[in-house]
Amino acid sequence: MNGVTDPIRQAESYYHLHLVSDSTGETLISVGRAAAAQYSVKPIEHVYPLVRTHRQLDKAIQSIEEYPGIVLYTLTDPELRNRLKIYCQNNGVPVLSVLAPVVRLFQAYLGGVPEPRVGGQHQLDGEYFRRIDAMNYTVMHDDGQHTDGLEAADVVLLGISRSSKTPTSIYLANRGIKTANIPLVPNLPIPPGLSELKRPLVVGLVASAERVVEIRRNRLLGLNASQPNDSYVDRDAVAEEIAFSRRLCARHGWPVIDVTRRSIEETAAAIIGLLQERRRKMFETTSA
């Protein structure tokens, strides 16, 4: 593994990626996919969660032997960890503990010896229940439902149909952020009290007319309800909807995010950045 690309490997259209964890495997999946996304060759994932016994590890090793590839692992049991590592090294299989370098950095800074805990990030603690509470709130306040409870939100998303409000709301809720979303329709009033909200961050989501039309047409085709002449998929009508959204947000001083070329994760990250900046300013104001 000297950094030189193997021409045989480069010519293959796929490779095997083995993810071995003594917890849910979510950390491994995220890291593995983030690294794999840097290459055009696609991985075939083999995920082995909750590996806590030698018998469970046997199944993972058997699969690695049958489908050699890259092995990433998070195992806190030293016997299991060493067994997997030694097997891979003896058989020329690239293997890496994804948390080891990070833990070493923490140890160098904090000192002491870490106390390994299986699935420590998934404990039923306050943070866990905060995410569950946020998810419940978000589902209850999707697509303009229960607008009388918007003051309890952390974030309120505004946007026309097919501007990714709901998936962005769900993603934020999974991060523990209570999120409501409100559909915007030209010539229809916004919910009463929306402009007077004090606690939540209100954000408008917009996209290009071409992108919105494309998504709407695909949705209609999926529902077998395509209506080419309907204003719902008319480019000029959609452009006016978007202009209406921008005017509304400008009038109230609400930030706007163009989601045309953003993934849900990127949109959520931008919103979280705005939320953190808003909270920082509020803290500085109250502590002054």
CA 149 and chain centroid, separation: 26
From the annotation, which residues make up the binding site?
159-166
From the annotation, which residues make up the binding site for ADP?
159-166
Phi-psi region of 143 (alpha: psi -120 to 50; beta: other; left: phi over 0): left
Residue 23 sits at φ, ψ, to 5 deg, of -120, -145
Structure-block tokens of residue 219: 């949705």
